[in-house]
């Protein structure tokens, strides 16, 4: 913090565990409320200088960070593989490439964005919100950091980041990159530590102007309540239970194969994963067969990494058992450990059939390699099922033609929908309807979260 590594006020350390080997691969300071306080002071002190820096110059620092990240991609991918357990190819193709693209997008947006506009006899200025407290999870450890820090810096805010305790090593590397990119001291500050200690101190700090949180609904709800009481801005990204809707006439094989890949990537630890596949009655059995074949390609320890922790592994296995108790049929995988694997927090790639919309496995976020297949009767039934959870983060619609798929997507209560396999767009706003969250990340909508407006009349 404040432009250099500083000792924590505590000597406690958090061990970082490789979930594939269960070995401790590093230790980081368990930051305290006093450490958070010092980091917030550093961010406050740096705010006048950074907020007055020309947006194009702020963009240039982000562009330099993007280039440094690209240059260190092998090392960063190895870190994410080690602390998250992501297979190396996925670590490189997604965990490093995605934040590299997002840094690049905000470098451009900072330079292009109209921070001043004329509205009749007024001049409207978009000014930075101030000091940002960012709290991030472990599932996409660098992407989640960059999706908050890059727009905040582009907007002219200063930041204190508390990354997930399971994946702090890549956060430390990112701090080095920002420093090397020429970011002035104190503009970005990193405090590693536990959620209920360092995270809570940051969320509740009176001198933080905006809290941006990604993680579990329980913690998000508490952070939102605290921010409401303090009348401060808050952004929450809290997961989902997204529907992959295969309309009659759509390419079933493609829809199910892409759907399985979408969930099993990152071992199902993706908030926007399409974990519910909805298929019409006439083609349901065929869809089950395709899903079983697709799941067989995900061998644990090879294409399918472990879960982040023993706790998450047990939680996911508990959900599979719960599904069976409520009448679901395991057609691939299951709650047992994968054959011959005694080490690592692995869960078998699991497909549950005969799932009905009210079952726990159709309602709650499992956050593991588990897909449920739900049968629907007609399009209205499909829509009712798709919209029938408390979440609304993402989704997919596959139709015989684009028009019918778009018409269905427009009726879904969700923030992002991929039409017939549409590609991820790092500039498109990302965020939830309903209990999936508040606010948007990425692109100009993501930038706007970190701005407040002032109008002068003439
Ligand atoms: P979590 O919400 O506990 O952790 C996310 C972040 O919040 C971490 O940095 C953590 O240290 C911090 N945190 C924890 N308690 C806090 C508190 N009281 N005050 C402030 N910060 C706090 O999530 P988890 O326990 O790692 O995962 C549990 C479940 O959450 C998962 O199974 C999944 O369903 C969901 N999840 C969702 C996402 C997502 O992308 N939306 C990411 C991770 C986890």
**pLDDT one-digit tens code per residue, 25-53:** 999 999 999 999 999 999 999 999 999 99
Residue 447 has pLDDT above 90, yes or no: yes
Q: Is the CB of 197 under 6 A from ligand 1?
A: no
Under a CB-based contact definition with an 8 Å cutoff, are residues 391 and 437 in contact? no
**From its phi and psi, is residue 156 left (phi > 0), alpha (psi between -120 and 50) or beta?**
left
Label residue 198 by pLDDT band (50, 70, 90).
very high
The pair of three-digit structure tokens given for residue 440, joined into one six-digit string:
């948007």
- What is the Cα Rg of the chain in Å? 22
154-170 residue pLDDT tens: 999 999 999 999 999 99
318-345 residue pLDDT tens: 999 999 999 999 999 999 999 999 999 9
Q: Is the CB of 195 under 6 A from ligand 1?
A: yes
> Which segments within 379-450 are labelled E, that is strand?
395-398, 418-419, 437-438
* Closest ligand 1 atom, residue 193 Cα: 11
Q: Is the CB of 216 under 6 A from ligand 1?
A: yes
The pair of three-digit structure tokens given for residue 91, joined into one six-digit string:
């670590």
Residue-level pLDDT at 350: 98
Mean pLDDT of 173-181: 98
Residue 88 has pLDDT above 90, yes or no: yes
Under a CB-based contact definition with an 8 Å cutoff, are residues 294 and 257 in contact? yes
With CA atoms as reference, report the closest residue to 84 among 177, 192, 14, 168: 168
CA of 194 to the centre of ligand 1 (A): 11
Would you call 107 helix, strand, or coil by DSSP?
Answer: helix
Q: Is the CB of 141 under 6 A from ligand 1?
A: no
Label residue 24 by pLDDT band (50, 70, 90).
very high
Mean pLDDT of 245-271: 98
Spatial separation of the C-alpha atoms in residues 369 and 268, rounded to whole Å:
4
With residue 407 as reference, give the H or E element that holds it.
Answer: helix 402-410
Q: Is the CB of 1 under 6 A from ligand 1?
A: no
Which positions are annotated as active-site residues?
237, 271
Taking the chain, what is the end-to-end CA distance rounded to the nearest angstrom? 42
* Ligand 1 site-directed mutation target among 14, 28, 83, 137, most atoms within 8 Å of CB: 137
Summary mean pLDDT of the chain? 98
- DSSP letter (8 states) at residue 326: T
Residue-level pLDDT at 164: 98
Residue-level pLDDT at 1: 82
Q: Which residues does 285 contact at the CB level (< 8 Å), separation at least 6?
A: none
Sketch the domain layout of the chain as residue ranges.
13-238+435-457, 243-425
The fold of 13-238+435-457 is: Aldehyde Dehydrogenase; Chain A, domain 1 (3.40.605)
3-state secondary structure 197-244: HHHHHHHHCCCCCEEEEECCHHHHHHHHHHHHHCCCEEEEECCCCCEE
CA of 397 to the centre of ligand 1 (A): 29
- DSSP alpha helices (H): ranges in 10-72? 33-51, 55-71
Spatial separation of the C-alpha atoms in residues 449 and 451, rounded to whole Å:
6
CA of 139 to the centre of ligand 1 (A): 10
Mean pLDDT of 197-210: 98
Q: Is the CB of 200 under 6 A from ligand 1?
A: yes
Mean pLDDT of 353-368: 98
Label residue 2 by pLDDT band (50, 70, 90).
confident
Spatial separation of the C-alpha atoms in residues 132 and 213, rounded to whole Å:
11
Mean pLDDT of 213-237: 97
Spatial separation of the C-alpha atoms in residues 349 and 259, rounded to whole Å:
13
285-298 residue pLDDT tens: 999 999 999 999 99
CA of 38 to the centre of ligand 1 (A): 24
Residue 313 has pLDDT above 90, yes or no: yes
Q: Which residues does 255 contact at the CB level (< 8 Å), separation at least 6?
A: 244, 246, 277, 396, 398, 421
Residue 273 has pLDDT above 90, yes or no: yes
Spatial separation of the C-alpha atoms in residues 330 and 372, rounded to whole Å:
10
The fold of 243-425 is: Aldehyde Dehydrogenase; Chain A, domain 2 (3.40.309)
Spatial separation of the C-alpha atoms in residues 415 and 437, rounded to whole Å:
10
Q: Is the CB of 165 under 6 A from ligand 1?
A: yes
* Closest ligand 1 atom, residue 240 Cα: 41
Mean pLDDT of 149-157: 98
């Amino acid at each position: 913090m404040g432009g250099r590594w500083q000792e924590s006020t505590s000597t406690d350390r958090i061990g970082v565990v490789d979930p594939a080997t269960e070995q401790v691969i590093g230790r980081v300071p368990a930051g305290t409320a006093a450490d958070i306080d010092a980091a917030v002071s550093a961010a406050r002190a740096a705010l006048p200088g950074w907020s007055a820096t020309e947006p194009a110059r702020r963009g240039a620092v982000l562009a330099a960070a993007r280039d440094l990240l690209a240059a260190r991609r092998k090392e960063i991918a190895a870190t994410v593989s080690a602390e998250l357990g992501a297979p190396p190819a996925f670590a490189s193709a997604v965990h490093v490439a995605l934040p590299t693209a997002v840094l690049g997008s905000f470098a451009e947006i900072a330079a292009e964005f109209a921070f001043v506009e004329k509205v009749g006899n007024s001049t409207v200025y978009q000014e930075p919100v101030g000091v940002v407290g960012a709290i991030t999870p472990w599932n996409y450890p660098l992407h989640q950091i960059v999706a908050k820090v890059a727009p905040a810096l582009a907007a002219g805010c200063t930041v204190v980041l508390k990354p997930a305790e399971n994946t702090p090593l890549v956060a430390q590397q990112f701090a080095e990159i920002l420093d090397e990119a020429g970011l002035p001291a104190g503009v970005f500050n990193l405090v590693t530590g536990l959620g209920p200690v360092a995270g809570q101190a940051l969320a509740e700090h009176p001198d933080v102007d905006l809290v941006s949180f990604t993680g579990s609904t329980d913690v998000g709800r508490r952070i939102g309540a605290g921010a409401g009481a303090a009348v401060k801005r808050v952004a929450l990204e809290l997961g989902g239970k997204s529907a992959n809707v295969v309309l009659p006439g759509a390419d079933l094989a493609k829809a199910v194969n892409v759907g399985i890949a979408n969930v099993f990537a990152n071992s199902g630890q993706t908030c926007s994963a399409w974990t519910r596949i909805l298929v019409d009655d006439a083609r349901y059995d065929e869809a089950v067969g395709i899903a079983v074949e697709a799941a067989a390609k995900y061998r644990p320890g090879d294409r399918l990494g472990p879960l982040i922790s023993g706790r998450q592994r047990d939680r996911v296995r508990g959900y599979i058992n719960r599904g069976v108790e409520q009448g679901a049929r395991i057609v691939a995988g299951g709650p047992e450990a994968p054959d011959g694997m005694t080490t690592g927090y692995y869960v078998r790639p699991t497909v549950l059939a005969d799932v009905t919309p009210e079952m726990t496995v159709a309602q709650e976020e499992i956050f593991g390699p588990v897909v449920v297949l739900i049968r629907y009767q007609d399009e209205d039934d499909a829509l009712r099922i798709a919209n029938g959870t408390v979440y609304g983060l993402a989704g997919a619609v596959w139709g015989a033609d684009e028009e019918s798929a778009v018409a269905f997507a427009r009726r879904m209560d969700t923030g992002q929908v991929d039409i017939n396999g549409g590609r991820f767009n790092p500039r498109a706003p990302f965020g939830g309807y309903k209990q999936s969250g508040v606010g948007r990340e990425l692109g100009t909508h993501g930038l706007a979260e970190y701005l407040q407006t002032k109008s002068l009349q003439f």
